[in-house]
Structure 1
Amino acid sequence: MKIRFIGGAGTVTGSKTLVESNGIRILIDCGQFQGIKPLRELNWEPLPILPSSIDFVLLTHGHLDHCGWLPRLVNQGFKGKIYCTSPTKDIAKLILLDSAKIQEEEANKANEMHYSKHEIAEPLYNVDQAEKVFPHFRVIKTNEIVTLDPQITAVYTNAGHILGACSIELTIENKILVFSGDIGRDNDLLVFSPVKPKKADYIFLESTYGNRLHPETDVKGELEMYINNTVQKGGTIIIPSFAVERAQTVMYLLWLLKEEGKIPNIPYIIDTPMGIKVLDVFANNRTWHKIPEEDFTAMCNMFTMVSDYQETIDTIYNKQPKVVIAASGMITGGRVLSYLERYIGLPETTVIIIGYQAEGTRGRKLLEGASEIKIHGKYYEVKANILEIESLSAHADQKGLLNWLSELETKPTKVFLVHGENQAADELRIKIKEQFGFDCTVPLLGQEVEL
């Protein structure tokens, strides 16, 4: 059996792990690279194997860095099945269509304004190519055995990261391979705690926060303080948010604060068409989350939901203080860029960063104190107050990742640490060795190993 780390090794993006056994090829996740330019350029590179030779794709969840390369895969000849949970199918559809639309718009804008280095800027894929992915989806239930081949089975278990997110237990050549996917946090506000594996010969564990502990802070208290301080100055609060899960979490927290009378009666706006559509996924998958139906309805009624871009423009030029949740979470694209063009240069503005910011993204640059950021080929001076709420992360921290390994009944042969930048992965490797004595390694991008 061979494992090839095509993506998500040494980086938190582009997750793709290829498993080959007895002529069967299985791709665990098919993510898009994000962040620094050398990573983004990998999206244009062909896979080291023909997509037509891949039999199955097993998706852990619907985030772009785990499903965002599927249109390229299908366009280049993949004809197999894509297995995932029902919420993951719905979320992946939304994310792929949104990604395709944004890329088409970016390419058109670059061509109109001539800021692309290419003679003709092209999208990585278009809406038509994204839609061709959908017939390949096959919905499975958690804890049920999925037979891929007479010798290969897969079982999905809840990973607690976002709605529908799962870890995958693959039984192949009489060995159990466990792919963690992205591990969520115990006691998450919206989704249920991750299920810990009991048996595994080989583990492929994410390490996004492998070198960090989330601060035990009062998230509601922080939001309350930041919003009230900004409104007193007459400013606007902009919350760049991942459209899936984080946007809904922030909505729920703001609704709770408003119900308690702790934040002012100003406009609360969610301006992410995909984030609004994800609310329908929540409504249609109530067994996957904790929000009571009555609270969910009341929460949605509190927000002005902006989908039309003209409404975005009207909201941007409305000078009254407001709270705006807008995608994208790493400020790599989407509606939030239009808000930042207008507001990033105003000292009364507050920008609240609430999720992981990959290397090279605008979000990371703002957190690192950038004095200016580039949007649509133009530089904008940063005068806004840039704040971070770390405790809102959807990823387990180092302690959470170690805890996820704590119920294994037997010692795995090896643990591979993926989906993390090198320092995070290496520090987690040391901790796992110290705490459990497991043989642990950090694979390189493109590396192939035999099991």
Structure 2
Amino acid sequence: MKVKFIGGAGTVTGSKTLLETDGFRILVDCGLFQGLKPLRELNWEPLPILPSAIDYVLLTHGHLDHCGWLPRLIAQGFTGKIYCTGPTKSIAKLVLIDSAKIQEEEASRANQKQYSKHANAEPLYTLEQAQAVIPFFEDIEPNTVVPIANDITAVFENAGHIIGACSIRLTLEGKTLVFSGDIGRDDDVLMFAPTKPVFADYLFLESTYGDRLHPDVDVKEELETLINAAIKQKGTVIIPGFAVERAQSVMLLLWQLKKEGRIPDVSYILDTPMGANALHVFLENLKWHKLSASDCHEMSKMFSIVSEFKETMRIIEDPQPKVVIAASGMATGGRVLSYFEHYISNEKTTVIFVGYQAEGTRGRKLLEGADEIKIYGNYYNVKAKIFQIEGLSAHGDQKDLINWLSALKNIPKCIYLVHGESIPADELRIRIQDEYHFKCNVPLMGNEIEI
């Protein structure tokens, strides 16, 4: 059996792990690279294997960095099945269509304003190509043995993180391989704690927050303080939010604060069409999260939910103080950039990041104190106040990741640390070896191992 790391190694984006076994080829996740330009350029490169030679894709969850390359895979010849949970299928559909629309819009804008280095800027994939992915999905029940091929079986188990997210336990050639996907937090405000593996010969574990602990802070109190300070100055609060899970978590906390009379009566806006659609997925899949149906309905009533871009422009031009949740969470694209164009140079503006900011993203640059940022070919001075609330991350921290391994009843032959930048991954390697004496390895992109 061969395992090749063709994405999500040494970086937190582009997750793709290729297994070759007993005449079959299985791809675990098929994500988009984001952030640094050398990583983004990899999205245009061919895989080290023909997509037509891949038999199955196993999808851990519906975030773009885990499913966002599927349209390219199918456009280049993949004809197999994509296995995932029902909510992951629903979320992936929203994410891929939203991604395609953004890419088409940005290519069109680049051509109109002539800021692309290419004679004719093209989207990575079109809306039509994104929609072509949907018939390939085979949704499965969690905690159920799924026959893949011959003696290959898979079990999908709750990973927390976002709705539908799972770790995948693969049994093949008499061995058990566990792929963590992204592991959620044990104390998440919205999602249930992840299920711990009890046996694994080889384990492939994400390491996004492998070198840090989430601060022990009162997240609601932080939100309350920042919002009240901004509104007191008659400023606008912009919260770049991942449309799935993070947007709903922030909505939940703001709704609770408003009910408790702790934040002012101003306009609260959800400006991410995908985030609005994700609310329906939460309503249809109540067993996957902590919200009741009535909570979902009541929470939604507090927000003006925007779908049309002309409404976005009306809100932007309204000088009244307001709180806006807009995608994308790392400010790599989407509606939040339109708000930044108008508000980032205003010292009364407050920007609150509520999730991980990958290398090379605008979010990371703003958190690192950038004086200016580039949006659609133009530079804007940064005068807004920039904050991060780490306590809202949907990723488990080092303690959560170490704890996720605590139910193992055997000693794995090796744990491979993926989906993390080099320093966090290596810090987690050291901690796991100190805590459990398990053998750990941090693979590089393109590495191949034999099992």
TM-score between the two structures when normalised by the length of structure 1: 1.00
Aligned to 1:103: 103
Rounded Cα–Cα distance in structure 2 between residues aligned with 1:232 and 1:127: 42
SS at 1:168's partner residue? strand
Aligned to 1:71: 71
- Aligned counterparts, 1:176-255, within 5 A: 176-255=176-255
Rounded Cα–Cα distance in structure 2 between residues aligned with 1:219 and 1:139: 35
Rounded Cα–Cα distance in structure 2 between residues aligned with 1:296 and 1:71: 31
SS at 1:40's partner residue? helix
- Aligned counterparts, 1:144-159, within 5 A: 144-159=144-159
Rounded Cα–Cα distance in structure 1 between residues aligned with 2:191 and 2:408: 23
Structure 2 residue identity aligned to 1:420: G
Structure 1 residue 294: Cα displacement: 1.6
Structure 1 residue 118: Cα displacement: 0.7
SS at 2:425's partner residue? helix
Give yes or no for the alignment of 1:400 onto 2:400.
yes
Structure 2 residue identity aligned to 1:68: G
Rounded Cα–Cα distance in structure 2 between residues aligned with 1:343 and 1:286: 37
Aligned to 2:2: 2
Structure 1 residue 194: Cα displacement: 0.1
Structure 1 residue 383: Cα displacement: 0.3
Aligned to 1:318: 318
Rounded Cα–Cα distance in structure 2 between residues aligned with 1:410 and 1:259: 48
Structure 1 residue identity aligned to 2:295: D
Rounded Cα–Cα distance in structure 1 between residues aligned with 2:49 and 2:297: 47
Structure 2 residue identity aligned to 1:253: L
Structure 1 residue 187: Cα displacement: 1.9
Structure 1 residue 222: Cα displacement: 0.3
Structure 2 residue identity aligned to 1:355: G
Rounded Cα–Cα distance in structure 2 between residues aligned with 1:433 and 1:212: 16
Rounded Cα–Cα distance in structure 1 between residues aligned with 2:438 and 2:166: 23
Aligned to 1:450: 450
Structure 1 residue 420: Cα displacement: 0.1
- Aligned counterparts, 1:26-425, within 5 A: 26-425=26-425
Structure 2 residue identity aligned to 1:267: S
Structure 2 residue identity aligned to 1:424: P
Structure 1 residue 143: Cα displacement: 0.7
Structure 1 residues 145-154 or 174-183, which shifts more?
Answer: 145-154
Structure 1 residue 134: Cα displacement: 0.6
Structure 1 residue 396: Cα displacement: 0.3
8 Å Cα contact 2:183-2:194 kept in structure 1? yes
Structure 1 residue 295: Cα displacement: 1.7
Rounded Cα–Cα distance in structure 2 between residues aligned with 1:294 and 1:51: 44
Structure 1 residues 254-263 or 184-193, which shifts more?
Answer: 184-193
Structure 1 residue 144: Cα displacement: 0.4
Structure 1 residue 266: Cα displacement: 0.2
Cα displacement string for residues 188-228 of structure 1 (whole angstroms, at most 9, x for unaligned residues) = 11111100000000000000000010001000000000000
Structure 1 residue 150: Cα displacement: 1.9
Structure 1 residue identity aligned to 2:3: I
Rounded Cα–Cα distance in structure 1 between residues aligned with 2:187 and 2:12: 23
Cα displacement string for residues 56-82 of structure 1 (whole angstroms, at most 9, x for unaligned residues) = 000000000000000000000000000
SS at 2:235's partner residue? coil
Structure 1 residue 245: Cα displacement: 0.5
Cα displacement string for residues 70-97 of structure 1 (whole angstroms, at most 9, x for unaligned residues) = 0000000000000000000000000000
Structure 1 residue 45: Cα displacement: 0.3
Cα displacement string for residues 136-177 of structure 1 (whole angstroms, at most 9, x for unaligned residues) = 000101110011112100000000010000000000100000
The list of structure 1 runs, each at least 4 consecutive aligned residues, that deviate by more than 2 angstroms after superposition, is none
Structure 1 residue 22: Cα displacement: 1.1
8 Å Cα contact 2:33-2:40 kept in structure 1? yes
Rounded Cα–Cα distance in structure 1 between residues aligned with 2:96 and 2:127: 8
Rounded Cα–Cα distance in structure 2 between residues aligned with 1:286 and 1:435: 36
Rounded Cα–Cα distance in structure 2 between residues aligned with 1:169 and 1:313: 46
Structure 2, unpaired ranges of 5+: none
Rounded Cα–Cα distance in structure 2 between residues aligned with 1:235 and 1:31: 37
SS at 2:341's partner residue? helix
8 Å Cα contact 2:5-2:445 kept in structure 1? yes
Rounded Cα–Cα distance in structure 2 between residues aligned with 1:294 and 1:71: 36
Structure 2 residue identity aligned to 1:296: C
Structure 2 residue identity aligned to 1:82: I
Structure 1 residue identity aligned to 2:359: E
8 Å Cα contact 2:160-2:184 kept in structure 1? yes
Rounded Cα–Cα distance in structure 2 between residues aligned with 1:164 and 1:309: 29
Structure 2 residue identity aligned to 1:247: A
8 Å Cα contact 2:279-2:296 kept in structure 1? no
Structure 2 residue identity aligned to 1:357: Q
Structure 2 residue identity aligned to 1:399: K
- Give the CA RMSD over aligned residues: 0.5
SS at 1:313's partner residue? helix
8 Å Cα contact 2:241-2:247 kept in structure 1? yes
SS at 2:142's partner residue? coil
Cα displacement string for residues 282-320 of structure 1 (whole angstroms, at most 9, x for unaligned residues) = 111111111122221110001001111110000001001
8 Å Cα contact 2:100-2:127 kept in structure 1? yes
Cα displacement string for residues 15-51 of structure 1 (whole angstroms, at most 9, x for unaligned residues) = 0000110110000000000000000000000000010
SS at 1:138's partner residue? strand
Structure 1 residue 101: Cα displacement: 0.4
SS at 1:200's partner residue? coil
Structure 1, unpaired ranges of 5+: none
Rounded Cα–Cα distance in structure 2 between residues aligned with 1:70 and 1:413: 31
Structure 2 residue identity aligned to 1:398: Q
8 Å Cα contact 2:62-2:92 kept in structure 1? yes
Rounded Cα–Cα distance in structure 2 between residues aligned with 1:149 and 1:385: 54
Structure 1 residue identity aligned to 2:272: T
SS at 2:72's partner residue? helix
SS at 1:38's partner residue? helix
Rounded Cα–Cα distance in structure 1 between residues aligned with 2:212 and 2:117: 38
SS at 2:83's partner residue? strand
Rounded Cα–Cα distance in structure 2 between residues aligned with 1:291 and 1:407: 28
Rounded Cα–Cα distance in structure 2 between residues aligned with 1:134 and 1:429: 37
Cα displacement string for residues 379-413 of structure 1 (whole angstroms, at most 9, x for unaligned residues) = 00000000010000000000000000011000000
Structure 1 residue identity aligned to 2:242: F
Rounded Cα–Cα distance in structure 2 between residues aligned with 1:208 and 1:330: 15
